[in-house]
Structure 1
Amino acid sequence: MPGVVEVLHAHFPTHAYPSHTHDAWTVLIVDEGAVRYDLDRHEHGLAQAQVSLLPPHVPHDGRSVRPEGFRKRVLYLAPDRLDPRLIGAAVDQPEYVDPLLRHRIHQLHRVLRDGLEELEAQSRLLFIEERLQQHLSRRVGEPPQAPSGVAGQLRELLDSRVADGVSLEEAGRIIQAHPVHLVRAFSREYGMPPHRYLTGRRVDLARRYLLDGRPTAEVATLAGFYDQSHLNRHFKKVLGVTPRRFAAS
């Protein structure tokens, strides 16, 4: 539906997410267990009574607090559905104890699962976005500044070439900075090296193609991986399942 890039229901008995980013707002609730995660190199926890909102392009990971794992539901919202000037507020406080918001998210998941009432789904999404916007706005001081310098330029370059990729030498020529300086500046700004950021963006792209029904061998090429084996390895490392199983579920 418009505004919702992807919906994910998952049970992870053992999988731990490595640090990665999304180009969408990630709205997360936990139905069983509890999750601990680092967002922008600060540790957070998410229990069943809470809602978590992770902003676009900010590195985060995820792991279970309990040995039996966790079960979660996720809405990935298009980046323009919430004010990008509020990303800093989401980084500062990504969890909310808000029973009404959690209930509305539960209702939207139910409607999307049934797939019969598009108008209801749109209405429920608008109420969720309004509530999230209210939480974020309460925490706004100075609006966050856009990434500047070579790190921001390199991220923009990687975002423009997710499938094709770019070598550090070429990036250095375009940005007019030494490749070593690029890697150091990017890692310091985003908490991960450029190659890991690009791999995460490619996994995100692969998810979109899989949800469109494309075969995994074609998805590997379209998303910038060398072959299907290369896609399988990184996809499972990030999401804990193979592309084929993800598409089937």
Structure 2
Amino acid sequence: MADSVRAWHPEVPGIREVLHATFSQHAYPAHVHDDWTVLLIDDGAVAYALDRAGHHAVPGTVTLLPPQIPHDGRTAVAGRPFRKRVLYLDREWLPPTSEVAAAREPALRDPRAIGIVAGIHEALRAPGDALAAECGVLALADLARASADGSRLLRTASDAPLARRLRQMLDDRVDESFTIAEAARLLGTHPSHLVRVFSRSYGIPPHRYLTALRVDRARQLLRAGLPAAEVAARAGFHDQAHMSRHFRRVLGAAPGTFAA
């Protein structure tokens, strides 16, 4: 199997770089990153040393490699390639105390972590779902912090006024592109807190609420007889393909089903 590497920088707050790679021969020498490395193994296994201690990264776990800690990497099974997906996240993504915990135990074994990281990569596959990726990064930080201190997920006290303010912002700006980081600055709070409060109040994360609003608006515009390309733009989707993907996910049917 030939080695392959794809890397890019998405316009998502907190994500510095994304890398998808398959390696059959390459072995990483000891090196460091300025950022957090979030590693998901899809096939095979990786043997690596982190701060001179040996570990394995395997499917079914998320590996967190802290900034500035030397690590290497190679296939764990001679002759068998490994396939991985990697997120490089801002150093400020987690507090310094989490760096110490991750250096000691880099495997995040909470089964929810796999779904969150896979969801982030899915959201990054095509333009238009940056808000979903951003919310995923914030949710993963909550899991990682809870794992680092051995506690349950932070239970956010109810803050209905703050949740309502974000909901009003989403309602008013359904056709605009903006980030949770921008919303948090406007509302005077931290992005992670804003997502937790909204999700607790309405039972759905902000990006899914916004997508549902857009699908509903698009359905109404299609029934009014507007062309699909115009509907996608007016409903806040990146393009027609982006609209179609979410129509199928939310409603189980293509947009044309609802056209006048």
Shorter-normalised TM range: 0.5 to 0.7
Deviation at 1:100, TM superposition (A): 1.1
CA distance in 1, matches of 2:38, 2:95: 15
CA distance in 1, matches of 2:127, 2:143: 23
Deviation at 1:133, TM superposition (A): 1.3
CA distance in 1, matches of 2:98, 2:137: 18
The answer to whether the aligner puts 1:27 opposite 2:38 as a matched pair is: yes
CA distance in 2, matches of 1:32, 1:115: 26
Which residue does 1:55 correspond to in 2? 66
1:74 pairs with one of 48, 65, 86? 86
Unaligned runs of 5+ in 2: 1-11, 152-260
Q: TM-score normalized by structure 1?
A: 0.54
Unaligned runs of 5+ in 1: 140-249
Which residue does 2:22 correspond to in 1? 11
Deviation at 1:13, TM superposition (A): 0.9
CA distance in 1, matches of 2:15, 2:82: 23
Structure exhibiting the larger radius of gyration computed from Cα positions: 2
Deviation at 1:4, TM superposition (A): 0.4
Deviation at 1:106, TM superposition (A): 0.2
CA distance in 1, matches of 2:64, 2:18: 14
Which residue does 1:46 correspond to in 2? 57
Deviation at 1:137, TM superposition (A): 2.0
1:85 pairs with one of 82, 86, 97? 97
Which residue does 2:116 correspond to in 1? 104
Matches for 1:59-208 after TM superposition, within 5 Å: 59-66=70-77, 67-138=79-150
The total of aligned residue pairs comes to 139
Matches for 1:219-234 after TM superposition, within 5 Å: none
CA distance in 1, matches of 2:60, 2:105: 15
Amino acid of the structure 1 residue aligned with 2:46: V
Deviation at 1:118, TM superposition (A): 2.0
Amino acid of the structure 1 residue aligned with 2:35: A
Q: Report the 3-state secondary structure (helix = DSSP H, G, I; strand = E; otherwise coil) of the residue aligned with 1:115.
A: coil
Identity rate of aligned residues, in percent?
A: 42
Q: TM-score normalized by structure 2?
A: 0.52
Q: Report the 3-state secondary structure (helix = DSSP H, G, I; strand = E; otherwise coil) of the residue aligned with 1:109.
A: helix
